[in-house]
Amino acid sequence: MNLFRGLYRTIAWAYVTNNTMAFNVPEAEYRAFRYEPDYDSLPWRESFVAAKSLFDCSDVEWLAILRRSVMEEVIEGVKFPRFPDTILQSNFVGSANESALQEAYNFYSLLKDRSTKLNLPVAKDSRVLDFGCGWGRFLRFFWKDVNVANLHGVDVDPDIIEVCRNTAVPGTFYELEANGRLPFPDSYFSHILAYSVFTHLPESVHLHWLAEIARVMQSQATFCLTLQPRRFLEFVAGLDESAAESSWHKNLSRFANSVVPLKQAYDSGQFVYLPSGGGNYRDADVYGEAVVPLSYIEKNWKKYLHISEYIDDPARFWQAVLIAQKP
């Protein structure tokens, strides 16, 4: 058990469990109990200070630099985060290396564009949370834009949190319980993203994390996430267990004969959940395939956030994208 998991889980989560947090943690208290790394000692810190000019580039140029970092750990004197093995990358995001970065870039650039249009552009003093960070591909992009101390990632998988730390992904990383609490004070973040996370949460967990995310958002903060659109059910209907291309397809194929009533439920505004499970730390009661209609979002999110935009364009993203803002 490392320092973070021992100290943080023993003290910070006990703090939450005892209801001291009560959804209203002054920032001074938050800083007193949270794990805070020594940023000056991290491997990417010295090179960042020494070669800031590398970071003074466009988003497209930064994508090209990150693509180079797949094979080059040091670029123009800057030490870049390493990449986990391609199998691990693909298990989490369905692709690896340059392809995974390109997919992340599309979402990252959309978040930045919409945040600017909503009058809260990403800046050096922004505070960014990657909710369900996986192996840390998104925070690599925000490394160019935001002070490292303001980059945070959370995930329910303790092993992948260790991967982020061991590969030196910029930011601070925290392990979450499936129905736990975010270890941050109220109104802390300016930008939150959740890529392919709410697409897997059952309704009770979905609503739980919605409330938690809204709690830690600043006024006017943006939340950019993905949702499974109706066409995902068509995808499931076409799966055949005997011809499944992957274990994921094989697992989903058992729901193929249930798609007709599931589409009817979706069309009536109901939350549709396929309890498929997802391996370690992801039992079917907390992880599966969630297909959530926009009408459900509009009805159940309005007390927390304003829905700014819903994009369902398979030419751009396999999943639908939702952009919300806290009033």
pLDDT tens digits along 102-142? 999 999 999 999 999 999 999 999 999 999 999 999 999 99
- CATH assignment at residue 221: 3.40.50.150
Average model confidence (pLDDT) across the chain: 87
Distance CA 209, CA 219 (A): 18
**Helix, strand and coil percent figures for the chain, each rounded to 5:** 45, 15, 40
pLDDT of residue 52: 60
pLDDT band at 75 (very low <50, low <70, confident <90, very high): very high
38 and 168 assigned to the same domain: yes
Q: Kind of pairing, strands 74-75 and 78-79? A: antiparallel
What backbone phi and psi angles, to 5 degrees, belong to 164? -60, -45
pLDDT of residue 247: 85
- Note the pLDDT tens digit of each residue in 170-209: 999 999 999 999 999 999 999 999 999 999 999 999 999 9
Query: Which domain, by its residues, includes 279?
Result: 231-291
Which pLDDT score is estimated for 5? 35
Q: What mean pLDDT do residues 21-46 have?
A: 44
H-type alpha helices, the chain: 3, 13-17, 27-33, 43-50, 59-69, 86-93, 97-117, 137-142, 158-166, 203-216, 231-237, 247-253, 259-267, 294-301
Domain match, 168 and 255 both: no
pTM score, two decimals?
0.85
Are residues 314 and 182 both part of a single domain?
yes
Cα separation, 312 vs 182, in Å, equals 29
pLDDT band for position 17 (cuts 50, 70, 90): very low
Are residues 67 and 55 part of one domain? yes
The verdict on 218 and 179 lying in the same domain is: yes
% the chain with pLDDT above 70: 84
Residue 271 has which token pair?
């939350």
**Same domain, yes or no: 307 and 181:** yes
Over 70: is that where the pLDDT of 158 sits?
yes
- How many domains are there within the chain? 2
Q: Are residues 111 and 142 in the same domain?
A: yes
- The residue-averaged pLDDT of 34-43 equals 49
Q: Which of 207, 217, 161, 211 is nearest to 186 (CA)?
A: 217
Can you give the pLDDT at residue 42? 52
pLDDT band, residue 6 (cuts 50/70/90):
very low
42 and 183 fall within a common domain: yes
Same domain, 168 and 300: yes
pLDDT-derived band of residue 27, with 50, 70 and 90 as boundaries? Answer: very low
Verify that 17 and 85 share a domain, yes or no. Answer: yes
Same domain assignment for residues 152 and 248: no
Tell whether 283 and 299 lie within a shared domain. Answer: no
